[in-house]
A and B are shown apart, each in its own frame.
Chain A
Amino acid sequence: MVSIKESLQGLGEYVLLIGKAISVPDRWKMFWKQYVTEMFQLGYNSIGIVLIISFFIGAVICLQIKLNIQSAWMPTMVTGYTTREIMLLEFSSSIMCLILAGKVGSNIASELGTMRITQQIDALEIMGVNSANFLILPKVLGLMTIMPILVTFSVFAGIIGAYATTLLGTTSIAELNEGFRYEFNQWFFWCGIVKAVVYAFLITTISSYKGYSVEGGSVEVGKASTSAVVTSSIYILFSDIFLTNMLT
């Protein structure tokens, strides 16, 4: 088990590293280039997985509620209404970010870890480049920028998934339409966006810290990558409770 002293030390190192990363870039032109690359790498390349997973989860939630929860004494709009709220409130922000933590987190940690053990980070430092700033800041801002778009896509893919279940004949489009429109609260959508942006920060900074501070060889890079996913998932779940409490 990790002792309290070690985890406090880890937290301190994390804060120092992020402090070093969040500073004015040495050269804006290089920063923008990295920023666009990272948005593409971390965000754009995740759109596929987000769409597929959200579509099927939307469909399955809709089916479950229709088949197992809805009963004769409930209004028919319950299925659509519940599906919409689950997608908006939890799935498209928190659960999707948990999935992204797996994809993006391991990607970042293994990339930075490999750069560390092959001395590429030392090479940056020797040139007088603030390596934390150069490598980490574009990832953090890149994912935070693209995250709202991913959330929006996820919500829509979920809704489309729900509509797709009408093909099975369990629900009708009219019923779903009624549910989707019932007492729509725009704030729920913004809650999801705010949460997801916070998670984007957690995923990128925690994974960067894990990768950047690797010492040793390929085994340590593998460990860092696993630990990045596990740690950021735990922090996402924790902050979900606080954020949900705060935002509603």
Chain B
Amino acid sequence: MIEVKNLYKSFEDKEVLKNINTTFCNGEVNLIIGQSGSGKTVLMKNIVGLLTPEKGQILYDGRDLCTLSKKERSLLRREMGMIFQSAALFDSMTVLDNVMFPLNMFSDKTWDERKKRALTCLERVDLHNVGQKSPGELSGGMQKRVAIARAIALEPKYLFCDEPNSGLDPKTSIIIDELIAGITHEDKITTIVNTHDMNSVMGIGENITFICEGRAEWTGSNKEILSADNKYLEEFIFASDILRHLKQSYDKDNGKAEK
């Protein structure tokens, strides 16, 4: 479980995050949603410690990231896996070496065992026979899957994904979403996903935090989100006509016809 308490962050004179309070649950897919520029990436970077907040606490099962010593922080980091918006694979290494990298760095297993673990992770994300290729030879969707494999190689307790399906077609996005959700449930990971894709929200959002202009405006699940009573959230969800029509017919079915 990760708790964010009274978090503030600004750049120079621009306040980006204003008093964020939210909880991300264990074994669930936690989503952070919001418009482009609302501060999702900044929030996630604060949570993983790539940025330092001005004020506030980030508790990893009770351990406050901001007050940990360097050593403790680097130990905590080994329990984290992260998938970046751009996949961020090491382009000087082959795909297999990429997945083996965290193992080579931190595991005391033999080379054979490490290789086996890496191959298992690649199989888990449905990649076969790509180990010897370099990341540049893979498609965007495959790169994302390699990034997932690398992130889960050390069996993390916390998994972070910054827009895992940006730049992917709807079908591939769903495959990636389902992979993330599947891994989360199987291994009881605390997963946080940044997204503005409504397909992901409806598909895998078990615990959703909606960010608007740096404030956490709403939290709830995908079952509650369509009937949520929040002006900003409604504007965000029903930005497209198709969804607006869906909502109208949904409301009609439930006897709440408009007008």
Q: Which residues of A contact B (CB under 8 A)?
A: 26-27, 29-30, 115, 118-120, 122-123, 125-130
- On whether the beta carbons of A127 and B77 are closer than 8 Å, the reply is yes
- On whether the beta carbons of A118 and B50 are closer than 8 Å, the reply is no
Q: How far is the CA of A125 from the CA of B160 in the complex (A)?
A: 14
Q: Does any Cβ of A come within 8 Å of B74's Cβ? A: yes
Checking B78, B81, B105 against A30 with a beta-carbon cut-off of 8 angstroms, the contacting residue is: B105
Question: Which of B85-93, B126-134, B164-172, B198-206 lines the interface with chain A?
Answer: B85-93
Within 8 A of A (CB), among B83-136: 84-86, 88-91, 101-102, 104-106
Q: Does any Cβ of A come within 8 Å of B75's Cβ? A: yes
CB distance from A41 to the nearest CB of B (A): 10
Within 8 A of A (CB), among B9-39: none
- On whether the beta carbons of B106 and A119 are closer than 8 Å, the reply is no
Q: How far is the CA of A15 from the CA of B19 in the complex (A)?
A: 35
Q: Which residues of B contact A (CB under 8 A)?
A: 48, 50, 73-78, 80-82, 84-86, 88-91, 101-102, 104-106, 154, 160
- On whether the beta carbons of B88 and A120 are closer than 8 Å, the reply is yes
Checking A27, A119, A123, A127 against B78 with a beta-carbon cut-off of 8 angstroms, the contacting residue is: A127
Q: How far is the CA of A30 from the CA of B73 in the complex (A)?
A: 21
Give chain A residues whose Cβ lies under 8 Å from the Cβ of B76: 128
Please give me the residue from chain B that is nearest to A123 by CB atom.
B88
Q: How far is the CA of A115 from the CA of B76 in the complex (A)?
A: 23
Q: How far is the CA of A122 from the CA of B80 in the complex (A)?
A: 13
A sample of 6 cross-chain residue pairs with beta-carbon separation below 8 angstroms, ordered by A number, consists of A120-B91, A122-B84, A123-B88, A127-B154, A128-B74, A128-B80
- On whether the beta carbons of B105 and A119 are closer than 8 Å, the reply is no
Give chain A residues whose Cβ lies under 8 Å from the Cβ of B78: 127-128
Give chain A residues whose Cβ lies under 8 Å from the Cβ of B154: 127
Please give me the residue from chain A that is nearest to B150 by CB atom.
A123
Can you name 13 extra interface pairs (CB under 8 A) apart from A119-B85, A128-B75? A27-B105, A118-B88, A119-B84, A120-B88, A120-B90, A122-B50, A122-B82, A123-B88, A125-B77, A126-B160, A127-B77, A127-B78, A128-B78
- On whether the beta carbons of B105 and A26 are closer than 8 Å, the reply is yes
Give chain A residues whose Cβ lies under 8 Å from the Cβ of B105: 26-27, 30, 127, 129
Please give me the residue from chain A that is nearest to B160 by CB atom.
A126
Give chain A residues whose Cβ lies under 8 Å from the Cβ of B102: 127
Q: How far is the CA of A120 from the CA of B154 in the complex (A)?
A: 18
- On whether the beta carbons of B86 and A118 are closer than 8 Å, the reply is yes
Give chain A residues whose Cβ lies under 8 Å from the Cβ of B81: 126
Q: How far is the CA of A123 from the CA of B160 in the complex (A)?
A: 11
Please give me the residue from chain A that is nearest to B45 by CB atom.
A122
Q: How far is the CA of A125 from the CA of B52 in the complex (A)?
A: 14
7 tightest Cβ-Cβ pairs between the two chains A and B = A128-B77, A119-B88, A123-B88, A128-B74, A126-B82, A119-B84, A128-B78
Give chain B residues whose Cβ lies under 8 Å from the Cβ of A120: 88-91
Give chain A residues whose Cβ lies under 8 Å from the Cβ of B74: 128, 130
CB distance from B102 to the nearest CB of A (A): 5
Given contacts A126-B48, A128-B74, contact A119 B86 (CB under 8 A): yes
Q: How far is the CA of A125 from the CA of B76 in the complex (A)?
A: 12
Give chain A residues whose Cβ lies under 8 Å from the Cβ of B101: 127
Give chain B residues whose Cβ lies under 8 Å from the Cβ of A129: 105
- On whether the beta carbons of B88 and A27 are closer than 8 Å, the reply is no
Give chain B residues whose Cβ lies under 8 Å from the Cβ of A126: 48, 50, 77, 80-82, 160
Give chain B residues whose Cβ lies under 8 Å from the Cβ of A26: 105-106
Give chain B residues whose Cβ lies under 8 Å from the Cβ of A29: 104
Please give me the residue from chain B that is nearest to A129 by CB atom.
B105
Give chain A residues whose Cβ lies under 8 Å from the Cβ of B88: 118-120, 122-123
Give chain A residues whose Cβ lies under 8 Å from the Cβ of B48: 126
Given contacts A128-B74, A128-B75, contact A27 B104 (CB under 8 A): yes
CB distance from A194 to the nearest CB of B (A): 32
